[in-house]
Amino acid sequence: MNQPTRLQGVFAPVLTPFNADHSPAPDRLVRHCRWLVDQRVGLAVFGTNSEGNSLGVSEKRRLLDTLIESGLPAERMMPGTGACAPTDTIELTRHAVRSGCGGVLMLPPFYYKGVTDEGLYRAFAGVIDAVADKRLRIYLYHIPQVSNVPISLDLIDRLLGRYPGTIAGVKDSSGDWNNTAAMLERFASRGFDVFAGSETFLLANLRGGGMGCISATANVNPGPIVRLYEEWRHRDAEAQQAALDATRAAFAKFPMIAAMKAAIAWKTGNAAWRTVRPPLVELSAEQRAALEAELTAVKFELANAGALA
């Protein structure tokens, strides 16, 4: 089951920079991705924190093409491809695989609620059968508080039994460590790679046999998160984890996506970074001032911010 492209480490659901008219800003996206890769962070573009669900299929295809044409490493990319419509999921997943992406992060179809595991199994199986490509590696995206469509342990068990290798792992964004621990216990030995949905559980996940984390704050605090990933067996790992938690807590006092963008705008001096796409809203001037005070209190720094401006 070990493949050269097996993904591990720290991934960012890469923030999508927008222009004032809410169109994507590909040049700034490329710079942000380079800055992340230079700090050994993988690229989970089009995730929740990427406002990926506010981007259309053709926008996502074009942005992925731009990233790859810019020389960014496809094998370190895990684009979000799960949409409500199976046809969209298939199109995006096929495009990602043919572009050489190391994996895809796949939401379940998330409009219809109260659906059964049988229905979700058919949805995932339908995508896998339609894409029909041995290179496909799917990371299931469990984020029930947003999707409202949980991915159960029994569903994983069934998918993994039928599609070993293709069902490559999970991002567990439930925030429920017991669930992450259950995934590790039941599936890690079967070549199923568990990523924590934030660095909050990075140390615990690595100790339990997980592969890393895919975390919003990797967009703004990549160095220290990667350092813990690389040094988790060191004696100061708990202290490192505590420092990560303090930085994350500062951001989490605000709407997270807008706050991360505001922090980048602040540190780079480029106010265009603040822009979010509706239905999200930028931080107010008061919120920005409060965020800056919080971040100053935890000694937050954006390393090499000039490369991002």
Binding stretches for a copy of itself (CB under 8 A): 22, 48, 53-59, 83-88, 91, 108-113, 115-116, 118-120, 122-123, 126, 145-149, 277-281
Rounded CA gap, 81 and 185, in Å?
Answer: 27
Total residue count of the chain as it appears in this document: 309
Q: Report, in Å, the least distance between residue 119 CB and a copy of itself.
A: 4
Clarify whether 121 is annotated catalytic.
Answer: no
Between 162 and 190, name the residue whose CB sits nearer to a copy of itself.
Answer: 162
16, 141, 180, 247: the catalytic one is 141
Q: How far is the CB of 58 from a copy of itself (least distance, A)?
A: 8
Q: Which is nearer to a copy of itself, 149 or 156 (CB)?
A: 149
In 3D, which of 183, 181, 264 has the Cα closest to residue 217? 264
Are residues 81 and 139 in contact, defined by beta-carbon separation less than 8 angstroms?
Answer: no
Show Cβ contacts of residue 63 under 8 Å, excluding neighbours closer than 6 positions: 16, 24, 26, 29, 45, 46, 55
Give min distance, CB of 173 to a copy of itself, in A. 13
Coil, helix or strand at residue 168: strand
CB of 137 to a copy of itself, least distance (A): 21
Catalytic site residue 253?
no
Q: With respect to a copy of itself, which residue has the nearer C-beta, 118 or 236? A: 118
The residue from 93, 139, 171, 275 that is catalytic is 171
The strand order across the sheet containing 193-196 reads: 41-43, 9-12, 212-214, 193-196, 167-172, 138-142, 104-106
Give the residue with the Cβ less far from a copy of itself, 117 or 292.
117
Q: What minimum distance in Å lies between the beta carbon of 204 and a copy of itself?
A: 26
Q: Catalytic residue at 48?
A: yes
Identity of the residue, 3 or 87, whose beta carbon is nearer to a copy of itself in the bound complex: 87
Q: Which two tokens stand for residue 265?
A: 């705008």
The single residue of 111, 112, 253, 296 carrying the catalytic annotation is 111
H or E segment to which residue 153 belongs: helix 153-162
Q: What single string gives the DSSP state of each residue in 4-25?
A: TT---EEEE-----B-TTS-B-
Of the candidates 46, 40, 48, 44, which has an alpha carbon nearest to the alpha carbon of residue 9? Answer: 40
Whether the CB-CB separation of 246 and 296 falls below 8 Å is answered with no
Known catalytic residue at 111: yes
What amino acid positions are annotated as catalytic residues?
A: 48, 111, 141, 171
